[in-house]
Every structure is written in C-alpha cells, then in structure tokens.
Chains A and B, each alone.
Chain A
C-alpha cells in the first residue's frame, strides 16, 4: 500500500513539480522548507526557548544561510519515519535532513538523491558494566532487546549468524521507550540500536555509569540529507554546502575567526571564502556563500561539538566522523 502510494506520488511529482527551479522557488518563498525528525536527541529537538536545535537542524540552517544569509529563514516540518519520503516527493519540503540512512533502494527507486553523508552512524551494543564484557564477540548466549520493525533487528541476526554465535533470544518491542525500560528492568542483557541513539538512551538510564557501549560497530548507517530527482542545481547546492562545512573545518575557518580569515593569504581559504574566484556562482549563489554559512552555523566540527560532541550530554566521540586527516572518513571535496 505504502509502495503504491509512493509510486503514485512519484508519478504525479513528475508532472507537478519539475518546472521552476527549487532555488528560485525557495528564494521567492523567502524560506527553506526543511524536513526534520519529530524529535531525536542531538539531531533535531526543540530547546527550552522553542527553537529547533540539533545536528540535522543545523544543516538546514547552513543551507538557509548560504541562500539568504539568515539561518532563521527555515520552515521546519517535523516528519515521522514513514511520512518523510512522501513529504519530499510531494514538494512539501525542499530538503530532507532527517537521519536517513543512505541505501541503494532509497537512492534509486524512490526518486531521490543523497547529497552526502553528514553523519556516519552504525549499530552498536549497550551492556551492563557488571557483565565485564570486552567486545561484542563475547555476546554468545545473550538475550537482546531491540525495537521492532527497524533494520537493527535484522542486523543483529545477521551479525550473530556471520560470527557463528547463538543468542538466547531477541526480544522486540514496539517503541523505543518500552525497549529501554525492558533493558533497564533486566529483561535482557544487551540493548542494541544505532550508536547515536544508544548515547541518548544511556542518558535516560538510572545509573548511566553502570552501562557501557561495546566498541564494535556492526552495521553501516550513513546518514545524510536528500533532495528530489530532477533539479541538479539544487542537488549541487545542498551537496556543496556539506562539502563547504568540511572544508571550512579542515582549513581552520570557524564562526569566530571567519571575519579575519577572509583576509587570509592561503589560496585554498581564499577560494573557499570567495576572495579568489567566484565558485559560489556555480550553484546559483554569490562568491561569499561559505562566509555566510560559517558565520551562521560554524564549520562541521563546530556543528558536531555543539549538538552531539563530547561536551554535550550525549558525549559522542568523533570517531568515523572526524576529518580524513584526523583518523575519520569525512572528506570535503576541494573548492577550485
């Protein structure tokens, strides 16, 4: 049923949406329509001042800053996991920045393009410290709590089979909160989910210090923003906003020093900030587009540290999300 609806929506969108360029529409509207999660700690959630905050939210703000020089010109549409693709197909949003895993089927059959991997996530295990486990290879005979209907449920089965291990049972629950409660009450030894979620879940446990994340990551969950097929300029704009955030971090351009960095003699910085060349015009913007982005949201590292980094309650280490020259795999394509 969902498939048929999506297909119908896709067909209709070919007729209905593919004329005016998305950038022109966004400019005419005066705001970017961005789809985010209805609430995911560290990625999108309303803060005490009623503003949307989070990693995915900041990416929307970066795109808005590139276009309007104003990170507040975003209209956030909070979407549930099952409505997110329909909303993008129907044109209700211009950009979906909602912890969506880049998979082949989503990229090819749904009519979307992933603009990059803003966050490399992966499935991990949360266990009680008292069990004294060193790694997930020692999970033989464990009972495992997992949220039903997620890819986590499939991954954990695959992982045990691939490593010739047996679990006692996998107990699946309908909602995250139920799963957490079951884990905490001792129904199972292990709670498995994406690592970013495990970090959030740990905060809700009575004694977070009694629980520990196992080091292994058993699945690839590359999360990134996506756009509709059919408007390559818009795709480029979103993609290069992501690269610009990485390049800015790599070149040491931060929200604090961007005013001085404009005068830098480093040719790479000059190209990035538009004092040399007019690379921004290639995506329909002006040369100083990166200055606007970094002023508004900071570079990739600043966004990471502010929302999910070690100094936040979530306290997630950079890991894979570190820059390529710092042991991670985040790699911004060069501006030239």
Chain B
C-alpha cells in the first residue's frame, strides 16, 4: 500500500490580481471611456473639444502673453514682434483699482485687514474639525460686521439723538464741550431711553401677566439694548480713522460687501418669510406673500434705479441715504424674497408626520420648527440655497447702473484708459474677472457639496 501524500494548505491563498486589462486605470478607461460604441464616440468628441479649446487658451493666456510693461506699447504686436496674447501688465497697472476702487491709497490697509479678518474667521467656521463653532459664529456674524463697518467707513459717526431727542426732549441734556470722543448727549439719551423702555415693558408685563413677568420683560429689553449699545458705541467712538465715503469704494471690495451682506441677511430673513407664508395667522401670511411676490415681481435694476435717482426727490431736504446702503438694502430684500421660496420648497417636502410627531412629543411651534422641521428642510434645499448665493454673487454687478463700480465695473472703466488700449486688453480683463468670479463661485459650490455629503449620512443609499 502506498501512502498517498495529500497536500493540505493551512493558509488561504492570496487571490491572484485581476488581469491587467481588468484593473487600475486600464479598467477605468475601458469601463468609462471605451465601453460601448456611443461611449467611444463621446470620448472622441470630448477629446476633440479639449483639443479645440485648451491649446488656444494656453497659447493666448500664457505662451503669447506679455508679462511686463508700463503702457500700451508693451502689448502692441508691432512693437513686440510676435502675436500678442493676454496683456497682463494692464492687470498689474489696474490691480489696485480692481481690488479697492477709489479707496484712498493711504487707507487701503483697512480694507486688507477686513479681508484678512474675514478669511480668518470664515475658514474655521466652514472646516468641520475646528472646535468652538458657536463662539466662532458669534464672532463672524455678530462682531465682524461691526468691525468691518467701522474699519471701512472710518466710524466716528457723531450720533446726535436717540429716542428722547427725537421726541423733542433734546434740551434736557447737558452740552459737553466738543473734543470729547463720544457724544455725551447721545449716550445720556440712550441710557435714559433704555431705562424708560425697561420700565414701560415691566409695567405692561405687570398689568398683563402679573408681577412674576416683570423680571423677564426687563431682561428682554436689556438683551436688546446692551448689544445695541455696544454696536452704537463702536460706531460712535473716534478711533482716529480717516472717514472714507462709500462713493470711493469699488472693485472687489464692493462686490464682496454686497454679496456677503446679501447672503448673510437673506438666509435668516428668507427662513422667516417662508415660515410666515406657511403660517396659519392670516395677517402674517398675507404680509409675507405680498412681500415675496412684490420683490419677485419687480426687476432689480428698476429698484436700484428708483432708489438712487428718484428716492432723493421724495426725501425731506438735506436728508440723504448713502448710495451703497441703498443698493445693499435693495439687494438684501431681493435675495430674501428668492430665498423664502427656496426654503418654502424644503418645508413642503417634509411629510406631515414629522410635524405631528413633533407635536405629539409636546413641542410648541418654535422648538418644533427649530429642532425637527427646519434642520431637515434646510438640508434638502442646500443646492437651492447655494444656487441663490452664487446667483446673488454674480448679480452684484448690476449696481454698475447706479454708478457703483463693482469688480466688473472697475474693469470696464479700466478698459477706457487710452494708455492701455490694445487689441487684447479686453480679453485679458474679462479673462481675469472671470477667473476671480470663478474662484468664489466654485468655492461656494464645492463647500455646499461637502456640506451635503456630511449632512446626508443617514440617507445615503
């Protein structure tokens, strides 16, 4: 009997790698680019398209481009001796105009500080890993706008009256010699008004809801008046900054100011309006509908034009509203109306069961919306919201018609400098402006996608 040796492997064999044709980039190419006949055709079409578009762009913006010079002669083919692509020295010469507008040269550091501070506060806010989100949010949405406002305008507004002053009690207040950095008349007025308001609120609360409610009412007044005082103080104090009129702002500064304030105002207002439109209180509902439909029904250009040139005719003599502020308010109201409809779409997508469930566990309207409905609704409409933001960012350029030069407006003005009039100035300028707009819009778009992914874990298929 011969013994047969039986081989028994004690370990699993490593699987062989798939054949070369079925792994790595080769497989990817076969699966995605060359899988079927239509795919092959599409791939060829894509390659052809790239061939048609990319080399000329590279040729124009990089290879044939002129990189240095002091005036138009640097970019003229006749002087350079070869076909000229982009005329980059034009951008270098106009870069201050494009970033700061007519902001005085000596004060530009203030704009830089605002840019830097904004980036410094925004970055940790959007990065998920960084802690202290609440503090960061307060800093960005509460403190930063005030700091930016004071830095950009120069602050030192020399406030004159508060409530009592407007009611005609101006003479009551002591006149303190000028030279004091804050206006005492205003602040005495402010403190007295606050105390009166608190007393009034307390009194009403006592009559309506009994003595226990007094403390709450006074506290409510305090939570409004104290932060307001801080904001007004920041605006009132003379920090020794040269005042800079908004008329002189321009370029990217204006684009960002309008876009950022439009974005930060439109989201909360849009949510309130959307809730208002779905409210069961008829007055709230009608007001919301009227507001939304009015602003959606009127072209933004008409409103900007009216606010700039017609409004001054109706205002009392000597009263003016800052031009940029008018544009800001107009844009913010518009964006809010559009945002409201996006949010309403989200609210309507939440099944009734969610509302009923929230009510069943005893939540009132506020907490129900805040804890159950809105988080789901907003998550659903992130693409729509960001779409609105991107649209708003690009719409800011409409302020050009009311003589505010945003990035594109500053660019157009720069085109008219005869010292830089060359055949390619126009394309260089628009290419550069397009690049800047792209960076911002693409950034927003990528962030929204990352946010969606993060919030969408529960529903991922």
Query: When the two chains form their complex, are residues B309 and A78 in contact, meaning their CB atoms are under 8 A apart?
Result: no
- Contact yes or no, A45 B426, CB < 8 A: no
| Contact status of A39 and B413, CB under 8 A, knowing A90-B313, A203-B72, A313-B421 | yes
Nearest B-chain residue to A48, judged by Cβ = B93
Instruction: Check A46 against B413 for contact (C-beta < 8 Å).
Output: yes
Q: Are B78 and A45 in contact (CB under 8 A)?
A: no
Contact A200 B97 (CB under 8 A): no
* Inter-subunit contact A206/B413 (CB<8 Å): no
Query: With an 8 A cutoff between CB atoms, is A219 at the interface?
Result: no
> In the complex, are the beta carbons of B97 and A50 less than 8 A apart?
yes
Q: Is the CB of A75 within 8 A of B72?
A: no
Known: A50-B96, A206-B77. A313 touches B403 (CB 8 A): no
Q: In the complex where A12-B313, A80-B401, A207-B78 touch, is A41 in contact with B94 (Cβ < 8 A)?
A: no
Q: In which size bucket is the chain A interface?
A: 35 or more
Q: Once bound together, how far apart are the Cα atoms of A77 and B245, in whole Å?
A: 13
Q: Does any Cβ of B come within 8 Å of A148's Cβ?
A: no
User: Which one of A48, A90, A205, A206 lies within 8 Å of B310 (CB-CB)?
Assistant: A90
Closest residue of chain A to B247, judged by CB? A75
**B403 engages A204 (CB within 8 Å):** no
Contact of A50 among B105, B309, B401, B419 (CB under 8 A): B105
For chain B, what secondary structure do more than half of its interface residues adopt (helix, strand, loop), or is it mixed? helix
Pick from B96, B305, B310, B416: contact of A41, CB under 8 Å: B416
Q: A residues 206-246 with Cβ under 8 Å of B?
A: 206-207, 209
- Which residues of A are found within 8 Å of B101, using beta-carbon distances? 50
A79 adjacent to B418 (CB under 8 Å) = no
Which of B105, B309, B412 is A92 in contact with, Cβ under 8 Å?
B309
With both chains docked as a complex, state the minimum distance between the C-beta of B460 and any C-beta of chain A, in angstroms.
Answer: 48
Q: Residues of A contacting B401 with CB < 8 Å?
A: 80, 83
Is B60 an interface position by the 8 A CB rule? no
Name the CB-closest residue of B to A314: B418
Nearest A-chain residue to B401, judged by Cβ: A80
| Min C-beta distance of A37 to chain B, whole Å | 8
Supposing A38-B409, A40-B416, A41-B418 touch, asked if A313 and B72 sit within 8 A by C-beta, the answer is: yes
Question: Is A87 an interface residue, CB under 8 A from the partner?
Answer: yes
- Judged by a CB distance under 8 angstroms, whether B423 is at the interface is yes
Q: Does B194 contact A (CB under 8 A)?
A: no
Task: Judge whether A162 is part of the interface by a CB distance below 8 angstroms.
Answer: no
A312 touches B418 (CB 8 A): yes
Q: Within the complex, which residue of A9, A13, A47, A78 is in contact with B417, where a contact is CB–CB below 8 Å?
A: A47
- Please, how many residues of chain B have a CB less than 8 angstroms from a CB on the other chain? 40
Task: Indicate if the CB atoms of A50 and B102 lie closer than 8 Å.
Answer: yes
Q: Is B312 an interface residue (CB 8 A)?
A: yes
Instruction: Tell me if B317 counts as interface (CB < 8 A to partner A).
Output: yes
Given known A-B contacts A48-B93, A78-B405, A177 and B418 have beta carbons under 8 A apart = no
Q: Give chain B nearest CB distance to A252 CB in angstroms.
A: 28
Report A38 CB to chain B, min CB distance, Å: 6
Residues of B contacting A255 in the complex (Cβ-Cβ under 8 angstroms): none
Residue B432 interfacial (CB < 8 Å): no
Bound-state Cα–Cα, A8 to B94, Å:
40
Give chain A nearest CB distance to B321 CB in angstroms.
12
**Which residues on A sit within 8 Å (CB–CB) of B308?**
92
B188 within 8 A of A: no
B312/A83 in contact, CB under 8 A: no
A71 touches B (CB below 8 Å): no
Decide: B417 and A46 in contact? CB cutoff 8 A.
yes
Q: Are A83 and B417 in contact (CB under 8 A)?
A: no
CA distance A201 to B415 in the complex (A): 11
Contact of A39 among B314, B416, B419 (CB under 8 A): B416
Q: Which residues of A contact B410 (CB under 8 A)?
A: 46
B425 within 8 A of A: yes
Instruction: Indicate if A275 sits at the interface (CB-CB under 8 A).
Output: no
Q: Which residue of B lies closest to A75 (CB)?
A: B247
**What 0/1 pattern do residues 380 to 406 of B give for CB contact below 8 A with A?**
000000000000000000001111010
Contacts of A209 in B (CB 8 A): 78
A186 touches B (CB below 8 Å) = no
Q: A219 to chain B: closest CB distance in Å?
A: 23
B333 within 8 A of A: no
Tell me how far the C-beta of A42 lies from the nearest C-beta in chain B, rounded to whole angstroms.
5
* Distance between Cα atoms of A307 and B425 in the complex (Å): 20
CA distance A48 to B419 in the complex (A): 9
Contact B94 A48 (CB under 8 A): yes
Query: Least Cβ distance of B425 to chain A in Å?
Result: 7
Please tell me if the beta carbons of B418 and A13 are within 8 angstroms of each other in the complex: no
Report the minimal beta-carbon distance from A141 to chain B, rounded to whole angstroms: 28
Given known contacts A83-B309, A204-B425, A204-B426, A46 and B418 CB-to-CB distance under 8 angstroms: no
Q: Verify B414–A46 contact, CB threshold 8 A.
A: yes
Closest to A177 in B: B426
B419 engages A47 (CB within 8 Å): yes
- Among residues of B, the one whose C-beta sits closest to the C-beta of A85 is B309
| A92 and B312 form a contact (CB under 8 A) | yes
Contact B413 A45 (CB under 8 A): yes
Interface centre among B312, B314, B401 (most CB of A within 10 A): B312
What is the CB-to-nearest-CB distance from B105 to chain A, in angstroms, rounded to a whole number? 7
* Residues in A neighbouring B102, C-beta threshold 8 A: 46, 50
Q: Which of A42, A86, A206, A314 contacts B309 (CB 8 A)?
A: A86
Kindly provide the distance from the CB of B279 to the nearest chain A CB, expressed in whole angstroms.
37
Cross-chain contact A9 with B310 (CB below 8 angstroms): yes
Q: Does A149 contact B (CB under 8 A)?
A: no
Contact: B309 with A9, CB < 8 Å?
yes
Q: Which residues of A contact B305 (CB under 8 A)?
A: 83
Known: A38-B409, A78-B413, A204-B426. A87 touches B309 (CB 8 A): yes
- Give 24 CB contacts A-B under 8 Å: A8-B310, A13-B313, A38-B403, A41-B421, A42-B418, A46-B414, A46-B417, A47-B419, A48-B94, A50-B97, A50-B100, A77-B403, A78-B405, A80-B401, A83-B309, A87-B309, A90-B310, A92-B309, A92-B312, A204-B421, A206-B77, A207-B78, A312-B418, A313-B418
5 tightest Cβ-Cβ pairs between the two chains A and B: A39-B416, A203-B421, A45-B416, A41-B418, A39-B413
Q: Which residues of A pack against B, CB within 8 Å? A: 5, 8-9, 12-13, 16, 38-42, 44-48, 50, 75, 77-80, 83, 86-87, 90-92, 177, 200, 203-207, 209, 312-314
